[in-house]
Amino acid sequence: MSGDANQHTSVLEAPKAAPEDEPSPAQRFLQVELELNAHLRRLTFSEPVRYRYNPLEYAWETHRCYVEKYCRGGQKILFLGMNPGPFGMAQTGVPFGEVKAVVDWLKVTGEVGHPPDEHPRRRISGLSCTQSEVSGARFWGFFRKLCIEPERFFQHCFVHNLCPLIFMSASGKNLTPPELPVAERESLLALCDTALCQAVEALGVSMVIGVGKVAEQRARRALSAAGVDVRVKGIMHPSPRNPQANKGWEAIAKAKLEELGVLSLLAG
């Protein structure tokens, strides 16, 4: 499931709409991401960052499959993560993209290439990756139990990450955006904030649910500053780094979604 990233540069484009047609929500959304990619390429990062991967480049084929399948228009809720995990979206191009969920439930297909500079211990093996990502397995596993079929979930919801980049130190340690040097982090997130506002308007959602406090707070600030009229709420992140999530994330998420009026839309 892997190949040379250079072989796939030709697929880094949004599908074309016929001249007389309005672009679809998926086309508008992919265009926002392509423009963000162009801006992100110009950024540089210093220590502790040694490697950065952008799955919206080397995993564009699988990412585009996900967006074209599930970004439909009329969806009112956007679940927003922070940035890719090393065994989730970094491998599959899908937010919270634990491999089994992406292949078995979401039925996403496509080839995944490689970032230009790859850590020897953090290789990308795409949809062949055998390591599970706990956050993604919890996130999609919960909605699979709740909705049974992905169509029920995506009738009302879509899932996206604020930042498409994953960062690593020289040792291969995963670095989240809050761990970056302040000036570099703010340059990065300012671009991501702008793209988020454009994506929310392209999708026409009425509620953004940040998965984790950082995504929730960043989305609230960015959308409010841009005057985008949308509710911003949050649910706990399913990360195994979070002791509360390890005690029963599903029950906590379910209670919060019930409080927000989302659960009744999704439960079978």
- CA distance readout (Å), 67 to 25, 31, 152, 158: 9, 11, 16, 9
Q: Which two tokens stand for residue 201?
A: 């308007």
Residue 14: per-residue pLDDT? 59
* Section 51-64 average pLDDT: 98
- Map residue 13 onto helix, strand or coil: coil
| pLDDT computed for residue 267 by the predictor | 81
Q: What is the DSSP letter of 2?
A: B
Band the pLDDT of 33: cuts 50, 70, 90.
Answer: very high
Domain encompassing residue 122: 44-266
Query: 117 lies in a domain?
Result: yes
What pLDDT score does 6 carry?
43
Query: What is the pLDDT, as a whole number, of residue 41?
Result: 96
Tell me 102's DSSP state: I
In a domain, 39, yes or no: no
Per-residue pLDDT at 10? 41
- CA 99 – CA 122 distance, rounded (Å): 16
Is residue 21 domain-resident? no
Residue 97: inside a domain? yes
The average pLDDT across 213-242 equals 96
Confidence of residue 264 (pLDDT cuts 50, 70, 90): very high
Confidence of residue 20 (pLDDT cuts 50, 70, 90): low
pLDDT greater at residue 21 or residue 105 = 105
Distance CA 85, CA 69 (A): 22
Domain assignment present for 250: yes
Residue 4 domain-assigned (yes or no) = no
Average pLDDT over residues 146-175: 96
pLDDT (0 to 100) of residue 19 = 52
For 54, how many CA atoms within 13 A lie in the half-sphere containing its CB? 20
Distance from C-alpha of 2 to C-alpha of 51, rounded to nearest angstrom = 19
d(CA 108, CA 64): 9
CATH of the domain at 79: 3.40.470.10
What gap in Å lies between CA 25 and CA 74, rounded to an integer?
Answer: 9
> Which two structure tokens, joined as six digits, stand for 5?
């990233």
Q: Quick one: pLDDT at residue 21?
A: 75
Q: pLDDT above 90 covers what percent of the chain?
A: 89
Read off the tokens for 220: 């609230």
Using alpha carbons, select from 218, 203, 194 the residue that is nearest to residue 83: 218
Phi and psi dihedrals of 219, rounded to 5? -65, -40
Radius of gyration of the chain (CA): 17
Q: Total domain count for the chain?
A: 1
- Placement of tokens 């397995």 in the chain: 137
Confidence tier at 22 by pLDDT (50, 70, 90): confident
Q: Is residue 156 part of a domain?
A: yes
User: Distance from CA of residue 210 to its chain's centroid?
Assistant: 11
What pLDDT score was predicted for residue 5? Answer: 44
pLDDT confidence band for 17 (50 / 70 / 90): low
Tell me the two tokens of residue 237.
Answer: 């992140």
Lowest mean pLDDT among 3-7, 55-59, 103-107, 169-173: 3-7
Distance CA 185, CA 178 (A): 7
